[in-house]
Amino acid sequence: MQYQIAPLFCRPWTLNGISPRLIESHYEHHYGQAINRLNAITAELESLDPETTPPDVINRLKRDQFTELNSTLLHELYFASLGGDGRAPPETIANAIARDFGSVDRWRHEFIALATALSGRSGWVLLTYLPRDGRLINQTASDHGQNIAGGIPILAIDMYEHAYQLEFGANAAAYIATFMRNIEWNATQARYEDAVAVKPPRRLEQKQFVDLPSITPEEVKAMLDSGAGVQIIDTRPRHYSTRAQDMMEGAVWRDPERVNDWIGELSKTEPVVTFCVYGFHIGCETAATLRKAGFDARYMPGGHYAWKAIKGPVKLFE
């Protein structure tokens, strides 16, 4: 694969306080070098036989390829982040930022703080949309890496000294302020609109239980912490529970094979939560049985191990 150079997105002569000379040098020498190195490394990788090449050689080349590819992508985003007047973001992106950061001002202060922390060092500060969470987050990406997995960066400031030294010397604060005054919010909003169209990663789906109400381990924990009345039933199978050492604090174990023996102990006025080992079947089936009998029962996805993974309190298995 040959990576193609992208034309400059911003118009250098329109920038306020950043000269065309700085952008030209940055584009030609740093972005251009990243593309050239990326192509050279990629060609080298393609010419090697992965079956006979020492793994260390492949590993080193892949690491370098990752660095240059990310440098390429982030430089393209950086040049596309400039060219506006940096003032008020348009409505859609302003509302999204306010939703996820509290206010545009709070976002701005956090973004500037992250950039300031990179003064005299190197790296990027990115505003990134994460489809998994449907939210925006600021992040630092050192060494052209460390990007949030699955995240889509929509705004970038380059904090490598080559991005500003020519014009601002060591005065990173002046460079950051100038960058903020030149943000192209309309293009950033357009990237945000594209990013939100990306579907989140697929979640575990159990088609047979799709209509069965569930309650997350975090919600169960909040219920217990608040002192709300809830009946929690550990329905791990008998063969499994004989070797179990711990169980959820606040839960009782009941044999899922013998629901009829213990269903009479339950109260219909308090909600019921059931769970099994991993949350696949037995907790769900028990919740379905209890619902049919008129109980307000829900299953806890992830089961016993999700409870332990959120550091929910456990006790010795009785």
What track of x and - describes contact with Fe ion for positions 116 through 155 (by CB under 5 A)?
----------------------------------------
Q: Does 291 bind Fe ion (CB under 5 A)?
A: no
C-beta closer to Fe ion: residue 33 or 206:
33
Q: Does 68 bind Fe ion (CB under 5 A)?
A: no
Alpha helices in 122-184 (DSSP H): 165-168, 172-181
Q: Does 234 bind Fe ion (CB under 5 A)?
A: no
The count of C-alpha atoms lying within 13 angstroms of the C-alpha of 288, restricted to the half-sphere facing its C-beta, is 11
Close Cβ partners of 56 (under 8 Å, ≥ 6 residues apart): none
Backbone φ and ψ for 86, nearest 5 degrees, come out as 65, 0
C-beta closer to Fe ion: residue 35 or 300:
35
d(CA 61, CA 5): 21
Q: Name the segment binding Fe ion (CB under 5 A); options: 23-31, 38-46, 87-95, 267-275.
A: 23-31
Specify the residue for token string 């003064």: 119
d(CA 36, CA 93): 34
C-beta closer to Fe ion: residue 76 or 100:
76
Of all helices (H) and strands (E), which one includes residue 265?
none
d(CA 81, CA 95): 19
Nearest-approach distance from CB 274 to Fe ion, in angstroms: 55
C-beta closer to Fe ion: residue 160 or 185:
160
- Residue 151, both tokens: 């995240």
Binding residues for Fe ion, rule CB under 5 A, total 4
Tell which one of 68, 76, 100, 158 touches Fe ion (CB under 5 A). Answer: 158
Q: Does 37 bind Fe ion (CB under 5 A)?
A: no
d(CA 272, CA 233): 7
Nearest-approach distance from CB 215 to Fe ion, in angstroms: 48
Q: Name the segment binding Fe ion (CB under 5 A); options: 25-33, 85-93, 144-152, 254-262.
A: 25-33
Give me the residues that bind Fe ion (CB under 5 A), please. 30, 158, 160, 163
